A and B are shown apart, each in its own frame.
Chain A
């Protein structure tokens, strides 16, 4: 029976990317002067796991690369090599290369082998330099490595427990053997470490120099290896090339022992074949208590069903209120119990989709380190609250805005060491990344102790661009808001890091799309603080129910500032029938929702209805509605999936009475109002 291994590819890639994350995280914690052995073990295990999986699933290039990487890590683990900055950098680069390789394999794209080959060469060079004790060897082939118990790295092989055997190995590579990143000389060198190796090359298929394709492999080899290493140890050397060649390993006659085997005080068990080791690793991982890999679509389906249950429950509750008679009390009591259970179920299901924000935060230590190096700055990144959980979808979408903000902190916020010293600051700048829960929201804070926003430059830039009148005075809050305008940048020099004038408006817009908001506080010379407030989930929203005519609309609570009843004297009518009202030192336009959606309202005069001040995309408007109905959590139903895009509406929900209510897209309503103003 043939097993279709492709069905396991997704799990392999997921696990490999997780292994790379833990590898990177451990590398960033590695103290080059005094490395923690457990961290090196973590890195080694990650590389070993990827190597095994790549080999099993036929990703030969990745298997070959991780094989070299694992060898280097083995040297570090066994303290035959010291962890230097060069090696730490090389290992971090390896993480990047592996991410690219795995990403390409997952997408079915060819791997760009040049960078892989370069890095692999550098890795092997370091290993050989260690072996030869040469500081700058011209080539990894300068000298064969001294014999060492290569297979003892897993602590499983005991030479003393086995007899010396004369092995015959036939290696017949396919034409693309080299192109897949496999170099036989490396394989043979490893074999030579195991015992006495004799190699005979078969040049029968090798054409003349002019007729050959030099990238192709025409050679094949017959090898004779006299060793006391077990067959598994020999096969391990070939484990990542098996898919690309024909390989036979046969035991010949038992060779006379070179030396009598010393009795081992505690014989180690023979190692399992590598594939078995890998499989065992995977099995072990999947059997961790409380850990199971489930497809996101299954979770979404579950959440959807729970959402339907919430709606059905709300309908039943409404009906139960009108029930009279002897069964009424029992029914209502049962409904209350059902409600409690429903809430628990809903919360439990929502928690399943929750992931710690460390998934996103974990990319920043590396990013800050690399950026700081490039910009010749000293930056310490402090992370707290990384276990704070939020919905997977929110998590996926908040990554890019956070990257932009952290980059800005390093590039624009933190000064060069000399500038900091001149300003009486510690040469090492600090960026603090924190996440916490506040009520039904998550708050992410990015704080630096850099130069802070230069209000004068921002105002000057805004005046130059006509965004602020020559005599117009702005509050500190208003000045800081200017950085969120499209294309606004005060950077004197644009770099590839930041300062191209794109970004902060996009950051705000992306956060608004998540029903969140971003605020900034900054003090010149002391630093800046960006605070992002996000809902915990996009599946359920805390909403304010608004009545307009016979319709109910919902505005997310995160967008709501205040509701107020206006008197005619507070309203200023301007040209084209537009209306403004004063609100906290600014004039806000009034958007009559009944006009926007073509409804017949119960209230047309402003003093008969209510104005709800909402905020989105950095701007505020007042929504004129008939009345406020209530505040409640609602289950979001995609309108675009079920119907189509409607301007000013982000989604829909089903209320307890079974009616459909539309959820307002505040940012879109503000954009629509702005377009009307501009027109």
Chain B
């Protein structure tokens, strides 16, 4: 499981108060049998990270358990005001989220 990567700060500087950003790269297989590892990866994201990007580009396999976990993760961080973004593989992810009634939650709107 890849740890969450911290995005380089613009300009590579060391500003004391920039919003922290992290990219969560979801692995190829996030289905039930790998769900604990995914949870571990998500729990590694600190509460002071302001911008969280879910990188779905490598993701090939996921199921409702994946989306449920992501919904909990997004809801937790959205509640403290973090920004949630996703990149890659949107159609399949969005279709599943829509079918499960989780689109708004996963978009950080709930």
| A-contacting residues, B94-110, CB 8 Å | 95-96, 98-102, 105, 110
Which of the candidate stretches A89-97, A215-223, A242-250, A557-565 sits at the interface with the other chain? A215-223
Given A138-B89, A208-B76, A215-B32; A199-B100 close (CB under 8 Å): yes
Interface of B is mostly: helix
With a cutoff of 8 Å between Cβ atoms, the chain A residues found around residue B7 in the complex are none
How many Å lie between the Cα of A212 and that of B68 in the bound state? 10
Closest to B73 in A: A209
Given A139-B89, A200-B101, A203-B75; A218-B68 close (CB under 8 Å): yes
Verify if B35 is at the interface (C-beta below 8 Å from A): yes
How many Å lie between the Cα of A33 and that of B88 in the bound state? 38
Q: Are A214 and B36 in contact (CB under 8 A)?
A: yes
Verify if B61 is at the interface (C-beta below 8 Å from A): yes
Verify if A675 is at the interface (C-beta below 8 Å from B): no
Point out the residue from B32, B72, B95, B101 that lies within 8 Å of A206, measured CB to CB. B72
Given A117-B32, A141-B95; A178-B61 close (CB under 8 Å): no
Chain B residues touching A, range: 35 or more
How many Å lie between the Cα of A212 and that of B102 in the bound state? 17
| B-contacting residues, A316-347, CB 8 Å | none
Tell me which of A113, A117, A178, A217 has the highest count of chain B C-beta atoms within 10 A of its own C-beta.
Answer: A178
Q: Are B72 and A212 in contact (CB under 8 A)?
A: yes
Verify if B85 is at the interface (C-beta below 8 Å from A): no
Closest to B89 in A: A138
Q: Are A215 and B43 in contact (CB under 8 A)?
A: no
Tell me which of A142, A192, A218, A221 has the highest count of chain B C-beta atoms within 10 A of its own C-beta.
Answer: A142
Q: Are A209 and B31 in contact (CB under 8 A)?
A: no
With a cutoff of 8 Å between Cβ atoms, the chain B residues found around residue A525 in the complex are none
How many Å lie between the Cα of A524 and that of B51 in the bound state? 76
Verify if A465 is at the interface (C-beta below 8 Å from B): no
Verify if A179 is at the interface (C-beta below 8 Å from B): yes
Point out the residue from A121, A212, A219 that lies within 8 Å of B31, measured CB to CB. A121
Verify if B71 is at the interface (C-beta below 8 Å from A): yes
Given A117-B33, A139-B59; A219-B68 close (CB under 8 Å): yes
Q: Are B101 and A141 in contact (CB under 8 A)?
A: no
Q: Nearest Cβ in chain B — how far from A179, in angstroms?
A: 7
How many Å lie between the Cα of A217 and that of B101 in the bound state? 15
Verify if B42 is at the interface (C-beta below 8 Å from A): yes
A174-188, CB under 8 A of B: which get 1 and which 0?
000011000111001
How many Å lie between the Cα of A214 and that of B102 in the bound state? 16
How many Å lie between the Cα of A433 and that of B43 in the bound state? 61
With a cutoff of 8 Å between Cβ atoms, the chain A residues found around residue B95 in the complex are 141-144
With a cutoff of 8 Å between Cβ atoms, the chain B residues found around residue A138 in the complex are 59-60, 89, 92
Chain A interface residue count, CB cutoff 8 Å, equals 35
With a cutoff of 8 Å between Cβ atoms, the chain A residues found around residue B75 in the complex are 203, 206, 208
Q: Are A221 and B101 in contact (CB under 8 A)?
A: yes
| B-contacting residues, A89-142, CB 8 Å | 113-114, 117, 121, 138-139, 141-142
Verify if A645 is at the interface (C-beta below 8 Å from B): no
Verify if B48 is at the interface (C-beta below 8 Å from A): no
With a cutoff of 8 Å between Cβ atoms, the chain B residues found around residue A214 in the complex are 35-36, 38-39, 65, 68-69
With a cutoff of 8 Å between Cβ atoms, the chain A residues found around residue B73 in the complex are 209
Closest to B104 in A: A201
Q: Are B71 and A143 in contact (CB under 8 A)?
A: no
With a cutoff of 8 Å between Cβ atoms, the chain A residues found around residue B99 in the complex are 144, 185, 188-189, 192, 197, 199
Tally of A-B residue pairs with Cβ under 8 A? 106
Q: Nearest Cβ in chain A — how far from B81, in angstroms?
A: 16
How many Å lie between the Cα of A460 and that of B62 in the bound state? 59
Q: Nearest Cβ in chain A — how far from B109, in angstroms?
A: 13
Q: Are B61 and A121 in contact (CB under 8 A)?
A: yes
Q: Are A142 and B63 in contact (CB under 8 A)?
A: no
A141-164, CB under 8 A of B: which get 1 and which 0?
111100000000000000000000
Tell me which of A117, A209, A210, A217 has the highest count of chain B C-beta atoms within 10 A of its own C-beta.
Answer: A209
Verify if B64 is at the interface (C-beta below 8 Å from A): yes
| A-contacting residues, B36-90, CB 8 Å | 36, 38-39, 42-43, 59-65, 67-69, 71-73, 75-76, 89
Q: Are A178 and B65 in contact (CB under 8 A)?
A: yes
Closest to B58 in A: A138
How many Å lie between the Cα of A113 and that of B69 in the bound state? 20
Q: Are A209 and B69 in contact (CB under 8 A)?
A: yes
Q: Are B32 and A141 in contact (CB under 8 A)?
A: no
A511-545, CB under 8 A of B: which get 1 and which 0?
00000000000000000000000000000000000
Point out the residue from A139, A143, A183 that lies within 8 Å of B64, measured CB to CB. A183
Verify if A207 is at the interface (C-beta below 8 Å from B): yes
With a cutoff of 8 Å between Cβ atoms, the chain A residues found around residue B91 in the complex are 142-143
With a cutoff of 8 Å between Cβ atoms, the chain B residues found around residue A144 in the complex are 95, 99
How many Å lie between the Cα of A214 and that of B35 in the bound state? 6
With a cutoff of 8 Å between Cβ atoms, the chain A residues found around residue B72 in the complex are 206-209, 212
Q: Are A209 and B42 in contact (CB under 8 A)?
A: yes
How many Å lie between the Cα of A638 and that of B47 in the bound state? 75
Q: Are A212 and B33 in contact (CB under 8 A)?
A: no
With a cutoff of 8 Å between Cβ atoms, the chain B residues found around residue A139 in the complex are 59-62, 89, 92
Q: Are B96 and A221 in contact (CB under 8 A)?
A: no
How many Å lie between the Cα of A144 and that of B102 in the bound state? 16
Closest to A210 in B: B43
Point out the residue from B92, B105, B110 that lies within 8 Å of A142, measured CB to CB. B92
Given A178-B32, A214-B38; A185-B89 close (CB under 8 Å): no
With a cutoff of 8 Å between Cβ atoms, the chain B residues found around residue A219 in the complex are 64, 68, 71, 100
Given A117-B33, A188-B99, A209-B42; A178-B64 close (CB under 8 Å): yes
Q: Are B39 and A199 in contact (CB under 8 A)?
A: no
Closest to A113 in B: B33
Q: Are A141 and B43 in contact (CB under 8 A)?
A: no
Given A141-B92, A142-B91, A201-B105; A206-B39 close (CB under 8 Å): no
How many Å lie between the Cα of A219 and that of B67 in the bound state? 10
How many Å lie between the Cα of A189 and that of B61 in the bound state? 16
With a cutoff of 8 Å between Cβ atoms, the chain B residues found around residue A208 in the complex are 72, 75-76
Q: Nearest Cβ in chain B — how far from A60, in angstroms?
A: 14
A228-268, CB under 8 A of B: which get 1 and which 0?
00000000000000000000000000000000000000000
Q: Are A209 and B105 in contact (CB under 8 A)?
A: no
Closest to B102 in A: A201
- Top 3 nearest A-B pairs by Cβ distance? A201-B101, A199-B101, A141-B92
6 contacts between A and B (CB under 8 A): A139-B92, A178-B63, A185-B67, A199-B98, A208-B72, A214-B35
Q: Given known contacts A117-B33, A144-B99, A178-B32, what 12 new A-B pairs fall within 8 Å (CB)? A: A138-B60, A139-B60, A139-B92, A141-B62, A141-B95, A188-B99, A206-B72, A207-B72, A212-B39, A212-B69, A218-B68, A221-B100
Binding site for A on B (CB under 8 A): 31-33, 35-36, 38-39, 42-43, 59-65, 67-69, 71-73, 75-76, 89, 91-93, 95-96, 98-102, 105, 110
